[in-house]
Structure 1
């Protein structure tokens, strides 16, 4: 009978045990949810793109990027064409200055196209020996593979405007070694102003396979085509 009270005394003196529950679940589920969000959006996007209704949106995005790329290229092109291309030694020797026919440039200032005064532009560009007035004027076409000029006038100075096709312009220049002339090619998208002083031969050759060359010739006196005032067929290789 004495064992029973002892057991009760031990139970009374022992403090109650605490039950601790350990939570093994993560306290921050955000990374898991964030990880699951991207595949869900990607899957939804891919599912949407497979639907026919997505075609207008895809075309719009494509056209937007194409337009944006075009604007960047045009801006780069404008920065290049705002100044005349008379920077090469060949143009200087040919007494010629060229401009872009694209807008904007010094001769094409709006969307209607280009417009210029050949005499004023030649003088302001520093071309020596051109016409200072237009006593006579010629407007002409040169078809592919054909030429005009290849002659030398002794009684007038001339200023030319040339455009429309790939064109070879040749000007007599005794300072050029070997052949005695300067020769340059004018691009189909360029407008060239050239000056040919008296006693200097010149020639215009259309080297474009399709387009016609157009030109204006301004002379400061009326041209006489008699044998004493002009020399014809100066160059035999044209």
Structure 2
């Protein structure tokens, strides 16, 4: 039997005797790469590679969030009783090198939004983590103004004038600040549709919330949220 790897001669011609003719032999470049991965100084490069892949995946996720739901018009915002402010556009929000500053009650009417809280008798500040929601309820005894920012967020407001759905819905980008008003008797919901960042919000109500009076609030208004 021929020895593996031995060269034999048949009819005067050399023949490489390989008992595994269909076995792939690693190329010299692949072997060199594998050998490089076993060396300690390859660790930083491998880490950089995985960081690049992570960054790329996050970018793709954000691109998916923006299309096609991210498309909007001023008419959609009007139906949702909402105004959005981009960080690079002049607006009634005071901005300087420190960041932005606003008054959540006065900003709504000065921006043409009606039906919001006339005072902050009850104030809440909170977070909505990725994939979670707040609201999805209807108050019968108070008007509410909502200010939110920080992540790509879906806002839904009950509006009987909007076709068969009976609500208006818009998407607010993570680089925008939005203020919306929900009049008494109108349901509303905030849904964080971002994969990474949290949505932050300030809620002003012009009546003190009674947590024990369940008859004043309808919960789980929309079953698809």
* TM-score band, normalised by shorter chain: 0.5 to 0.7
The partner residue of 1:126 within 84, 103, 112 is 112
Cα drift, residue 200 of structure 1: 0.3
Q: CA deviation at 1:101?
A: 2.4
After superposition, the Cα gap between the structure-2 partners of 1:87 and 1:232, relative to the gap in structure 1 and judged at 3 Å, is same
Matched, 1:94 2:92: no
Pick 1 or 2: higher relative contact order, CA cutoff 8 A, min separation 6: 2
On the 8 A contact 1:96/1:194 being kept in 2, the answer is yes
Of 184, 196, 199, the match for 2:185: 199
If each structure's strand is expressed as a fraction of its own residues, which one has the higher value?
A: 2
Query: Partner of 2:222 in structure 1?
Result: 235
Aligned length: 153
Segments of 5+ residues of structure 1 without an aligned counterpart are 1-85
1:102–1:108 contact (8 Å) kept in structure 2: no
Identify unmatched segments of 5+ residues in structure 2: 1-71
Which structure has the greater CA radius of gyration?
Answer: 1
SS in 2 for 1:114: strand
Output the aligned Cα RMSD: 1.5
Give the superposition deviation at 1:126. 1.4
| Residues 150, 201 of structure 1: 8 Å contact kept | yes
Deviation by residue 1:5-28 (Cα, 9 ceiling, x = unmatched): xxxxxxxxxxxxxxxxxxxxxxxx
Equivalent residue number for residue 35 of structure 1: none
1: CA distance, partners of 2:92 / 2:128? 25
Runs of 4+ in 1 over 6 A off after TM superposition: none
Mapped pair 1:136 → 2:140? no
2:163 and 2:101 map into 1 onto residues whose CA distance is 36
Q: Deviations over 1:29-87 (max 9, x none)?
A: xxxxxxxxxxxxxxxxxxxxxxxxxxxxxxxxxxxxxxxxxxxxxxxxxxxxxxxxx96
State the partner residue of 2:152.
Answer: 166
| TM-score, length of structure 1 as denominator length | 0.62
| Structure 1 residue 108: Cα displacement | 4.5
1:1-238 matched pairs, under 5 angstroms: 88-102=74-88, 105-225=91-211, 226-238=213-225
Q: Please, what TM-score do these two structures have when normalized by structure 2? A: 0.65
Tell me if the contact between 1:103 and 1:110 (Cα under 8 Å) persists in the aligned partners: no
